């Protein structure tokens, strides 16, 4: 080959390779977008790097999942706390749960409140029961929120062993809008926080002070999980609540409170005890009115609340 032809040939190769690279790149990005669309429009995907499923609309067959779990004759314990002015959320929470939450399964709600008389009458569906349990009032909302770990640990250890198979622990300032069923069941279940699912991990609001037991160093962490909903088998959730409560007590003894209270400790726990199943932000959206373009099927959502008005302190 003459020198000129060699140059021409090399140039041709270069253009060819660049073009195929470009085509490949645009194809993979198109393919990823296609997948994202099918999964409700976000890029979390439907499997974690440790191969735990992330539950989205489109990833499961609800009739098949129901029939598998129906055969096991399971009971799902469900805890909710309503102290002080938060009793106002109970009616919507319970009524919407009775419409959408584990319909057809055995559900036992354990409702903790400082005002049993303020609990509204809500008609329970077949095999759904509610037990009201009185707990003392507390002056700080942070203590109410964190104190749930201690109460849950005791409830599971002392009372639930022979009466339930799974447990979910839910915030009360919430409402169901769609099915929450057996697809959510697993050994240890975390719910991806609706504010952070599309953020890089270094922007997650983990506790960053090494003095706290909830500390997660920069560069670590998988997802940012919400403390407003978590669950799993009794043993696993017992270990979770016990560990978080122990870590909270150590922090209190050292006069430090993690930035997002028990949620920071829950995130630390899930970093070292990977959930066996994750629920997508469909299972805890932010106030339903806030744009939901990315998440097409909202099943459960925080409701709008005026913190200054409902909390006992700021």
**Residue among 248, 119, 102 nearest 172 (CA):** 119
Q: What is the DSSP string of 81-135?
A: EE-GGGGGGHHHHHHHHHHHBSTTSEEEEEEEES-GGGPPP----TTEEEEEEE-
- Return the number of the residue (48 or 301) whose C-beta is nearest ligand UDP: 301
Q: In this structure, are residues 240 and 230 in contact, taking their beta carbons and an 8 Å threshold?
A: yes
> Measured at CB, which residue is nearest to ligand UDP?
171
Which range, of 50-58, 75-83, 98-106, 290-298, touches ligand UDP by CB under 6 A? 75-83
228 binds ligand UDP (CB under 6 A): yes
Q: How far is the CB of 228 from Mn ion (least distance, A)?
A: 5
Binding ligand UDP by CB under 6 A: which of 69, 86, 168, 300?
86
241 binds ligand UDP (CB under 6 A): no
236 binds Mn ion (CB under 5 A): no
Strand residue runs (E) in the chain: 54-55, 75-82, 106-113, 128-134, 166-170, 174-176, 188-192, 225-233, 277-279, 300-302
| DSSP for residue 202 | G
Which range, of 100-108, 128-136, 221-229, 277-285, touches Mn ion by CB under 5 A? 221-229
**Rounded CA gap, 69 and 75, in Å?**
10
How many residues in the chain?
A: 314
- Return the number of the residue (141 or 176) whose C-beta is nearest ligand UDP: 141
98 binds Mn ion (CB under 5 A): no
Which range, of 44-52, 61-69, 170-178, 265-273, touches ligand UDP by CB under 6 A? 170-178
Which range, of 61-69, 100-108, 140-148, 284-292, touches ligand UDP by CB under 6 A? 140-148
Binding ligand UDP by CB under 6 A: which of 144, 146, 149, 192?
144
Vertex 163: Cα angle to 119 and 107 (nearest 5):
50
| DSSP for residue 163 | T
**Rounded CA gap, 23 and 91, in Å?**
55
- Return the number of the residue (57 or 263) whose C-beta is nearest ligand UDP: 263
171 binds Mn ion (CB under 5 A): yes
**Rounded CA gap, 197 and 182, in Å?**
23
- Return the number of the residue (164 or 228) whose C-beta is nearest Mn ion: 228
Q: Measure Cα distances from 154 to 56, 131, 150, 172, 238 in Å.
A: 32, 16, 6, 20, 8
Binding Mn ion by CB under 5 A: which of 57, 66, 173, 236?
173
57, 153, 207, 263: the active-site residue: 263
171 binds ligand UDP (CB under 6 A): yes
- Catalytic residue flag (residue 263): yes
Catalytic residue numbers, as ranges: 263
Footprint on this chain of ligand UDP (rule: CB under 6 A): 81-84, 86, 141, 144-145, 171-173, 228, 311-312
């Amino acid at each position: 080959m003459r020198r000129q032809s060699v140059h021409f040939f090399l140039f041709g190769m270069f253009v060819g390779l660049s073009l195929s690279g470009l085509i490949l790149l645009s194809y993979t990005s198109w393919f990823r977008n296609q997948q994202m669309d099918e999964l409700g429009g976000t890029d979390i995907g439907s499997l974690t790097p440790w191969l735990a499923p992330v539950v989205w609309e489109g990833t499961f067959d609800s009739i098949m999942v129901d029939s598998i779990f129906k055969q096991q004759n399971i009971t799902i314990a469900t805890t909710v706390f309503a102290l002080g002015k938060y009793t106002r959320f109970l009616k919507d929470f319970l009524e919407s749960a009775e419409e959408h939450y584990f319909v057809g399964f055995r559900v036992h709600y354990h409702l903790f409140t400082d005002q049993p008389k303020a609990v509204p009458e809500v008609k329970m569906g077949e095999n759904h029961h509610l037990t009201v349990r009185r707990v003392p009032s507390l002056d700080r909302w942070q203590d109410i929120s964190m104190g749930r770990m201690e109460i849950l640990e005791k409830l599971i250890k002392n009372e639930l062993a022979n009466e339930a198979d799974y447990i979910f622990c839910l915030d009360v300032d919430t409402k169901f809008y769609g099915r929450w069923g057996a697809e959510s069941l697993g050994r240890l279940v975390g719910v991806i926080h609706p504010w952070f699912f599309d953020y890089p991990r270094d922007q997650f609001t983990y506790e960053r002070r090494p003095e706290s037991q909830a500390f997660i160093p920069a560069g670590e962490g998988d997802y940012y999980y919400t403390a407003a909903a978590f669950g799993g088998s009794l043993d696993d959730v017992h270990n979770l609540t016990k560990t978080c409560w122990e870590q909270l007590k150590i922090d209190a003894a050292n006069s430090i409170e993690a930035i997002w209270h028990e949620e920071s400790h829950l995130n630390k726990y899930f970093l070292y005890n990977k959930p066996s199943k994750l629920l997508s932000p469909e299972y805890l959206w932010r106030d339903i009115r806030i744009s939901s373009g990315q998440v097409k099927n909202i099943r459960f959502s925080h409701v709008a609340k005026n913190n200054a008005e409902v909390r006992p302190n700021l």
